[in-house]
């Protein structure tokens, strides 16, 4: 490679080209990602390129090429031994988002095979693996052949994502995190889609959250991200669909691992919160259509509602738990089986009126303080800790009435968590307009 005053000319030219707002070729993007992953391209040059992308953006074609370069930086999971169309789902993360716990058994009960690789939680949002691991004995580390066998026999398996998936994204994300370049829509889309595509599904449904508790604060940005991700998976020869959903308040009432498992079981039994049920039906309808199990979303919804009514979805969750070593008694005796907290404290409202605002992110952080989440990836979590939200947007509240119930095993966390919860609620005298849960749907 030619050198110009000690600088690698090709990388320099690519940075300059992007800084000037031109579109990069597939070769240039492959060269950058391969060189960065191998360590040949240093962090300082990649940081400059990231900042150029942040300001100049990327075309859909560039973003597809970036995504595929990151997919090819590691292993791709071969799901071809699983019969039928595999449909995955990805959520951009929210507070109280236990959707996968309900959705995975629900769609599996309707015949869509679920071969799910999930992550752990970090910061104010929780991860599916942590939630499932609050069920005593539940194992998320199945060997590959057992994972495939489980999906072919019972139709469902949920395991942890391995480090060999899209290593370029892992390295790039760490750099974005310290260079103020995380919140770039093409970089986010490439990052999410590279991991999802490497996990081997034939079709992917995205749940892009928007609002105070979400990564995408504005609905326009959320829609833009959703459309771009659907374009990327289609560009990769797969099928895609998306929902933009509200995260201006926690989803359902439970926030925290074992509390969320209990709420998921209630929902599978047909008794859960309306917003969680509705989101699962919306995402599930898209999944059934993509999986070829329904002609359209209306027909899909009928099958899903039926699987909830007959108990087939709950029974599929029991199959998942027992197949992965979990204590299946949790289905009928969740209170007795799941870890529960020693210290419970209500946080009262200081005034009467209607709940007009709940800062979901603060509720997520409060739950993390109580022990339910991780500040850094090496923190341990307390499966029993969390928050039960008792008042949601539009609800009437009297002075002194509890807004939430805090659950923890560490008394010292109660005060800071309570303060944060208090500051997250606003009460008004007029009944507010409650934001719509499903804001946009992008069908296949």
**Catalytic residue annotation:** 90, 169, 176, 191, 195
Least Å distance, CB 422 to ligand URA, is: 29
The pattern of x and - marking residues 123 through 162 that bind ligand URA according to CB under 6 A reads: ----------------------------------------
Q: Taking the alpha carbons of 64, 65, 66, 70 in that order, is the dihedral positive or negative?
A: positive
CA 420 vs. chain centroid, Å, equals 23
For the segment 25-64, give every residue that binds ligand URA (CB under 6 A). Answer: none
Strand order in the sheet with 386-389: 254-255, 386-389, 402-408, 343-348
Distance in angstroms (rounded) separating the CA atoms of residues 168 and 164: 10
User: Could you tell me which stretch among 80-88, 188-196, 281-289, 353-361 binds ligand URA (CB under 6 A)?
Assistant: 188-196
Tell which residue, 35, 77, 91, has the closest CA to residue 161: 77
- Is beta strand 87-91 parallel, antiparallel or unpaired with respect to 396-397? unpaired
The correct pick among 188, 294, 358, 384 for binding ligand URA (CB under 6 A) is 188
Is residue 191 close enough to count as binding ligand URA by CB under 6 A? yes
Cβ-in-10-Å burial (0-12, 13-18, 19+) of 122 comes to middle
Tell me the residue nearest to ligand URA as measured from the CB: 191
Q: Interaction with ligand URA in 253-292: which residues (CB under 6 A)?
A: none
Q: Which is nearer to ligand URA, 221 or 266 (CB)?
A: 221
Question: Binding segment for ligand URA among 9-17, 183-191, 365-373, 405-413 (CB under 6 A)?
Answer: 183-191
* Furthest-apart CA atoms within the chain: distance in Å: 73
- List the strands of the sheet with 203-210, edge to edge: 87-91, 203-210, 239-246, 438-442
Which of 377, 351, 130 minimizes the C-alpha distance to 257? 130
Q: Measured from the CB atom, is 192 or 397 closer to ligand URA?
A: 192
C-alpha distance from residue 423 to each of 344, 350, 414 (Å): 19, 11, 14
Q: Which of 308, 302, 270 is nearest to 289 (CA)?
A: 302
Q: Does 417 bind ligand URA (CB under 6 A)?
A: no
**Shortest Cβ distance from residue 67 to ligand URA (Å)?**
11
Q: For ligand URA, which stretch binds (CB under 6 A), given 59-67, 186-194, 233-241, 299-307? A: 186-194
Q: Which is nearer to ligand URA, 187 or 251 (CB)?
A: 187
Total residues at interface with ligand URA (CB under 6 A): 7
192, 197, 294, 355: residue in contact with ligand URA (rule CB under 6 A): 192
DSSP per residue over 183-209, as a string? --HHHHHHHHHHHHHHTT-SEEEEEEE
Min dist CB 333 to ligand URA, Å, is 36
Q: Provide, rounded to whole angstroms, the least separation between the CB of residue 302 and ligand URA.
A: 33
Min dist CB 184 to ligand URA, Å, is 8
Site string for ligand URA, 333-352 (x = CB under 6 A): --------------------
Of 73-81, 182-190, 340-348, 414-422, the segment contacting ligand URA by CB under 6 A is: 182-190
Closest CA to 112 of 291, 241, 343: 291
Q: Shortest distance, CB of residue 24 to ligand URA, whole angstroms?
A: 19
Distances (CA, A) of 165 to 31, 119, 199, 207: 19, 12, 7, 21
Distance, CA of 34 to CA of 70 (rounded, Å): 8
Minimum Å gap between C-beta 351 and ligand URA is 37
Span near ligand URA by CB under 6 A; candidates 39-47, 181-189, 292-300, 346-354: 181-189
Neighbours of 398 (CB within 10 A): 10
Does residue 216 touch ligand URA according to CB under 6 A? Answer: no
Binding residues for ligand URA (CB under 6 A): 173, 182, 187-188, 191-192, 215
């Amino acid at each position: 490679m030619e050198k110009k005053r000690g600088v690698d000319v090709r990388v320099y030219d690519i940075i300059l080209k992007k800084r000037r707002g031109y579109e990069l070729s597939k070769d240039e993007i492959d060269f950058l990602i391969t060189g960065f992953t191998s360590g040949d391209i240093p962090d300082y040059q990649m940081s400059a390129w990231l900042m150029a992308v942040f300001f100049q953006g990327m075309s859909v074609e560039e973003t597809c090429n970036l995504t595929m370069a990151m997919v090819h930086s590691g292993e791709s999971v071969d799901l071809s031994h699983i019969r039928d169309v595999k449909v995955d789902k990805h959520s951009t993360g929210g507070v109280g988002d236990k959707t996968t716990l309900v959705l995975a058994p629900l769609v599996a009960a309707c015949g869509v095979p679920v071969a799910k690789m999930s992550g752990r939680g970090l910061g104010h949002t929780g991860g599916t693996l942590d939630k499932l691991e609050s069920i005593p004995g539940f194992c998320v580390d199945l060997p590959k052949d057992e994972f495939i066998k489980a999906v072919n026999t019972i139709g469902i398996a949920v395991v942890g994502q391995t480090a060999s998936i899209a290593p370029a994204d892992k390295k790039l994300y760490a750099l974005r995190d310290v260079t103020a370049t995380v919140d770039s829509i093409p970089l986010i889309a490439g990052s999410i889609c590279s991991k999802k595509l490497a996990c081997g599904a034939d079709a992917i449904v995205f749940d892009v959250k928007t609002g105070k508790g979400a990564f995408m604060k504005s609905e326009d940005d959320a829609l833009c991200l959703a459309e771009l991700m659907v374009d990327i998976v289609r560009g990769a020869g797969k099928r895609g669909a998306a929902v933009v959903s509200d995260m201006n308040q926690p989803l359902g009432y439970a926030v925290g691992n074992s509390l969320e498992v209990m709420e998921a079981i209630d929902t599978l039994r047909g008794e859960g919160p309306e917003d969680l049920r509705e989101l699962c039906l919306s995402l599930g309808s898209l999944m059934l259509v993509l999986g070829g199990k329904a002609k359209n979303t209306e027909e899909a919804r009928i099958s899903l509602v039926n699987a909830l009514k007959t108990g087939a979805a709950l029974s599929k969750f029991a199959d998942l738990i027992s197949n992965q070593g979990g204590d299946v008694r949790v289905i009928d005796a969740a209170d007795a089986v799941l870890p529960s907290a020693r210290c419970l404290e209500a946080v009262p409202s200081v005034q009467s009126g209607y709940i007009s605002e709940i800062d979901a992110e603060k509720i997520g952080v409060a739950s993390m303080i109580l022990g339910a989440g991780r500040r850094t990836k090496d923190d341990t979590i307390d499966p029993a800790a969390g928050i039960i939200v008792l008042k949601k947007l539009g609800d009437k509240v009297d002075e002194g009435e509890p807004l939430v119930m805090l659950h923890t095993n560490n008394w010292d966390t109660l005060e800071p968590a309570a303060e944060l919860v208090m500051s997250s609620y606003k009460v008004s005298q007029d009944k507010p307009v409650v934001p719509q849960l499903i804001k946009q749907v992008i069908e296949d």
